[in-house]
Chain A
Amino acid sequence: MPSRVSARLALLLSLVLVAGACNDDSPAAPSEPPPNSGGAPIVESFTGTLAQNGSTFYSFNVPQTGQVLLTLITLREDGTDSTALVSLGIGNPVGTGCNVLTGSVIAAGASPQVTTTQTPGVYCARLGDVGNLTAAATFHVNIARPR
């Protein structure tokens, strides 16, 4: 009998250990706040002129983790809408430029061409000619970021 009792005790102890191990005593990681939990995103307008073979950037603050959406809404060469492919990306301001982390080569359109989730910090949106512009082009980029 004593051996059966001790076996049951050992089994119980083992199960408690297993349960304890799977239910770690360390504090649970705080859950990530849902993106843009502070309300509607803020949209900043980045407008200007993109030189042929040139690039330009715009810095903005992301105060809380959330989605950042870049939309090249218009690109106009010689006053007419252009379908030229240009590079659009998000990165960090470094030195005298913008070090792109995520980006793609896109044409102007109504839908966001670059979508990322960013932690709080200062970021930049960079627009660059990849050799397709035939003249300097005016542009309008919308930057939607957490409030």
Chain B
Amino acid sequence: MRIPALVLLASLCLVSGCNNDETPTDPSDPLPSSFTQIYSDTLTRGGSGFFSFFVPEQGTVAVLLVSLTNTGTTTLVNTPILMALGIPAGTGCAPLTVGGTSTMATPGLAAQLRTSIAAGTYCIRVSDAGALSGDTDFVIRFVYPNPPQFVTSPFTETFASNLTVGGTATRSFISNNQGALAITLTDLGGSSSLVATIGVGVVANDGTGCRFAMLIETTAGANPQISTPIDSGVYCVRIADAGRFTDTVSFSIRLAHP
């Protein structure tokens, strides 16, 4: 009776020996399951550019044209440009031919293009549809998958400090939900006639700071000076002396989030 036991033991060893599929595989970096990327560059008059990215599985990509400014300035451009989702091909980006994958867009804080795509390599193509009067700097943010929604109640935060003559102050903030953002300059040195510029946008990744979707000159008041649709994400608000300060002044900005 000892022989069968030995044979069984030997057989089990052989079984283990046959199990050679356990060879460790090379570790590889996991594919990102979500990302937020910033594409900033200069669009020449009549020109185009593109940015390639890979999505590991079916999902919704949200493309937001944040900012358009005359190259080398902070002057906002409100001329629509063409944004299209495509596939890298040749020396360019071949737009997809299915509906909902291209749009004429002006800057904002809510995605102008939102569409579901299968796994694969894609590109965002921006081009002048003929309306730009000169070279234009742009900032595009795209998020995959669709910006998450957090179950939070609307809330308000205050950005208050002092502003020197010719100075600026910037604050980053997070929008947890898609909805409406209201920005109110509630106080500027206790004056109702003093003017400052307020801008709201996204921090670019090229070291140029806050790139604005909207930029206004305003006095302080009780009602929102900026109201705009906004996606969830990270944004920035900046206040600056519009060139009329004679002394350091205090300010208070109220951000009412969706």
Point out residues on A near B: beta carbons under 8 Å.
3, 6-7, 9-11, 13-15, 17-18, 21-22, 44, 46, 48, 56-61, 92-96, 121-122, 124
Contacts and interface: CB of A to CB of B under 8 A. Distances in A.
A14 B49 contact: no
Nearest to A15: B11
A132 to B, nearest CB: 23
Greatest chain A CB density within 10 A among B3, B10, B41, B50 is at: B3
17 contacts: A6-B1, A10-B3, A10-B5, A14-B10, A15-B11, A17-B11, A17-B12, A17-B15, A21-B14, A59-B52, A60-B89, A92-B54, A93-B123, A94-B54, A96-B51, A96-B52, A122-B120
B4 A122 contact: no
A61 to B, nearest CB: 7
A3 B1 contact: yes
Contacts of A95: 37, 39, 51-53
Contacts of B89: 59-61
Give 4 closest A-B pairs by Cβ, nearest first: A10-B4, A59-B88, A93-B52, A14-B11
A26 B51 CA distance: 43
A22 B4 CA distance: 20
Given A57-B91, A96-B39, 9 more contacts: A7-B3, A21-B14, A46-B91, A58-B90, A59-B52, A60-B90, A61-B87, A92-B52, A93-B52
A60 to B, nearest CB: 7
Interface string B8-49: 101110110011000000000000000001010100000001
Contacts of A124: 88
B161 interface: no
B121 interface: yes
B237 to A, nearest CB: 28
Contacts of A48: 91
Nearest to B8: A14
A111 to B, nearest CB: 24
A93 to B, nearest CB: 4
Contact of A10 (B8, B15, B54): B8
Interface string B49-69: 111111000000000000000
A58 B91 contact: yes
A95 B12 CA distance: 53
Contacts of A96: 39, 41, 49-52
